[in-house]
Amino acid sequence: MKNLELAKLLRMMALYLEMKDVPFKPQAYERAAYSIESLDEDIENFVKRVGKEGLKTLPGVGESIAEKIIEFLKTGQIKELEELRKEVPVDIETLSSIEGVGPKTIFKLYKALGIKNLEDLEKACREHKIRRLPGFGPQSEEKILKGIEFYKQGGGRHILGFIMPVVESLINYLKENKDIETVVPAGSYRRRKETVGDIDILAISKNPEKVMDYFVAFPEVEHIYAKGPTKTMVRLKIGLDVDLRVVEKESFGAALAYFTGSKDHNIQMRELAIKKGWKLNEYGLFDQNGKKIAGETEEEIYEKLGLQWIPPELRENGGEIQLALQRKLPKLIEYGSLKGDLQVQTNWTDGGNSIEEMVGEAIKIGLKYICITDHTKSLAVTGGLDEEKLLKQMDYIENLNKKYKGKIKILKGAEVNILKDGSLDIKDEILAKLDFVGAAIHTHFNLPKSVQTERIIKAMKNPFVDCIFHPTGRVINKRAPYEVDIDKIIDEAKKTNTILEIDAYPDRLDLKDEHIRKAVEKGVKLVIDSDAHSFLHYQYLDLGVAQARRGWAEEKDILNTLDVESFLKALPKRK
């Protein structure tokens, strides 16, 4: 799978072109990168299958980018990019992930101070060299330092949704080996944590040596840390570490439970065993005489301990063991149970596909409704829609609905901007005509906490705002959430009958798990959206379901598990 590597290079192209102030092209490269990383097929196979013309059906990929992709598959690099890198040899990928540091700033810093990487940048900040440059000041210096700190906290954890295709392809590769009986990813990956440190895979085999030879021959392996018959550790080319453990069939369940974790969950489990005078470890559950009483399956371990089986997403020591003892675990929302998607952008603004392309793909994957929510006018960079264009889009959708009757329902919506004072950038009389209105913050991220909170509450009080999109505004590993009193937002959501969104896009996952749990406890209604900017992004809906499960959400908490008629009737403000 070269997809991630290619996406990375395309994104780098976008950054360099932005640095050079080339118009439009950066956005195309960015979109193409999106497309490639969310493609669920190996890009090499894909190109073999559909050729250059097929490549051009991907959002963002035109003639010139298609050629670069083919060049990369042939030569392992993109010549134009190599030249740009020679000209301005900076670690553009890392530097540009620091909040407030864009390609143009990077270029200025390189020219003025020779800053090439994160270390240079931090040093220059600490030596107060940046504040003396024209266009910078003490404030921008502080902001950059803060950004660096946040970046470092990320600590090299990988975003689950982005590494999933690689892990799945590795699992499929392992499954092809005849010596492997069963193979399952465990650890934080199995718990569907939003970021993972490394991947822990378990397998059953009678020929562990052969299995390990086969494992390290996986084409994406870059480095072997250690190789032994029971445990082998490697690093993949995308920088992700993977451990493979081969265990005996009789203890597979015990190993699976142990290596799924989390560590705190395991400690509680072990204590439960100790209370009974037993012992639990990665080999099995043993009674007071040291006799093994369970180990082959996870289910029997939980059962012998008097517990209901606990879904991995709940194993974070958040009270799940106590509830499992009483057989009162929530009945979590199931994967694949979403019938609609309420946040879909199109090429009317910054999406990569037309409304009809988004509709076509939605039908293909079995969605029963989607809501078109293009950005609105004050978000000028996306070409946000004004009242007039919104009305035009509503008419257009009205007509499309005739064409697609019986296949899918297209809802009229918008992702409306919340202005600095909490008012919206679209008039109420127009909002009133939409089926579903999401409001979101895209500017003024740095207001004081109480001001930011009041700003959102004011938007929730608008009778036409059905939902707050990505309520905390974070971008994992890139941008901290804005300061906001989330408990207050949840309380006000309940009071004002406003839905909160779980944005399923891999680096958003906003609300996050612990917020979802609070919202569920308070009886706030939620929706799970892909925030699609391309038809390839619908696949992330299940990542949102994963997050909802980690937040203990049941089907009844998530409104887009309903069919479209019931969904519209259930909209809390419109009842």
Distances (CA, A) of 495 to 18, 428, 490, 524: 45, 20, 9, 9
Q: Which is nearer to Zn ion, 512 or 533 (CB)?
A: 533
User: Of the two residues 17 and 160, which places its CB atom closer to ligand DGT in the complex?
Assistant: 160
Pairing outcome for strands 436-440 and 467-468: parallel
Task: Give the DSSP letter of residue 483.
Answer: P
Which of 224, 267 has the CB closer to ligand DGT? 267
Ranked by CB distance to ligand DGT, the top (closest) residue is: 261
- State which amino acid sits at residue 134: P
Residue 159 Cβ, how far from Ca ion at the closest point, in Å? 14
Minimum gap (Å) between residue 506 Cβ and ligand DGT: 15
Three-state DSSP class for 529?
strand
**Chain center to CA of 138:** 34
User: Residue 426 burial by CB count (10 A; 0-12/13-18/19+): exposed, middle or buried?
Assistant: buried
Comparing CB distances to Ca ion, the nearer of 80 and 241 is 241
Q: Which residue, 159, 192, 196, is CA-closest to 312?
A: 192
215 makes contact, choosing from ligand DGT, Ca ion, Zn ion, none, with CB < 5 to 8 Å by partner type, with none
Query: Contacting ligand DGT (CB under 6 A), which of 196, 441, 548, 564?
Result: 196
| Residue 348 found at the interface with ligand DGT (CB under 6 A) | no
CA distances 344 to 35, 340, 411, Å, are: 15, 10, 10
Shorter beta-carbon distance to ligand DGT: residue 244 or 524: 244
Q: Which residue in 54, 197, 311, 383 binds ligand DGT (CB under 6 A)?
A: 197
Q: Does 510 bind Zn ion (CB under 5 A)?
A: no
Q: Is 261 in the site for ligand DGT (CB under 6 A)?
A: yes
- Measured CA distances, 238 to 21, 30, 46 (Å): 29, 19, 20
Segment 427-486, which members bind ligand DGT (CB under 6 A)? none
Residue 345 site contact among Zn ion, ligand DGT, Ca ion, none (CB < 5 to 8 Å, cut-off depends on kind): Zn ion
- Options 194, 200, 313, 513; binder of ligand DGT; rule CB under 6 A: 200
Q: Which is nearer to Ca ion, 188 or 539 (CB)?
A: 188
> At 216, phi and psi to the nearest 5?
-70, -10
C-alpha atoms less than 13 angstroms from C-alpha of 145 in its C-beta half-sphere: 15
Binding part of the chain for ligand DGT, among 140-148, 192-200, 208-216, 383-391 by CB under 6 A, reads 192-200
Specify the stretch interacting with ligand DGT by CB under 6 A; choose among 190-198, 232-240, 284-292, 510-518.
Answer: 190-198
The reply on whether position 185 binds ligand DGT by CB under 6 A is no
Summarize as ranges the residues that interact with Ca ion (CB under 5 A). Answer: 187-188, 198, 200
**By C-beta, is 197 or 330 nearer to ligand DGT?**
197
Task: Tell which residue, 371, 367, 387, has the closest CA to residue 538.
Answer: 367
User: Is 24 exposed, middle or buried, given 0-12, 13-18 or 19+ CB atoms closer than 10 A?
Assistant: exposed
In this complex, which beta carbon is closest to ligand DGT, that of residue 247 or of residue 358? 247
CB of 241 to Ca ion, least distance (A): 7
Answer for which of 188, 530, 534, 547 binds ligand DGT (CB under 6 A) is 188
Look at the alpha carbons of 124, 136, 479, 150 in this order and tell me if their dihedral is positive or negative. Answer: positive
- Helical spans, DSSP H, in 97-159: 103-113, 118-126, 138-154
- Scan residues 266-285 and list those touching ligand DGT (CB under 6 A): 266-267
State in Å, rounded, how far the first CA of the chain is from the last one.
48
Q: How far is the CB of 454 from ligand DGT (least distance, A)?
A: 36
Side-chain half-sphere exposure of 264, counting CA atoms within 13 A = 8
Residues 323-382 that bind Zn ion (CB under 5 A): 345, 350
97 near ligand DGT, judged by CB under 6 A: no
The number of C-alpha atoms within 13 Å of 474 and in the hemisphere containing its C-beta is: 22
According to the binding rule CB under 6 A, does residue 263 interact with ligand DGT?
yes
Binds 350: which of ligand DGT, Ca ion, Zn ion, none (CB < 5-8 Å by kind): Zn ion
Residue 241: partners with Cβ closer than 8 Å, 6 or more residues away: 197, 198, 199, 225, 233, 234, 235
| Segment lying near ligand DGT (by CB under 6 A), choices 72-80, 131-139, 187-195, 526-534 | 187-195
Q: Which of 248, 255, 257 is nearest to 181 (CA)?
A: 248
By CB under 6 A, name the binding residues for ligand DGT.
Answer: 187-188, 193, 196-198, 200, 258-259, 261-263, 266-267
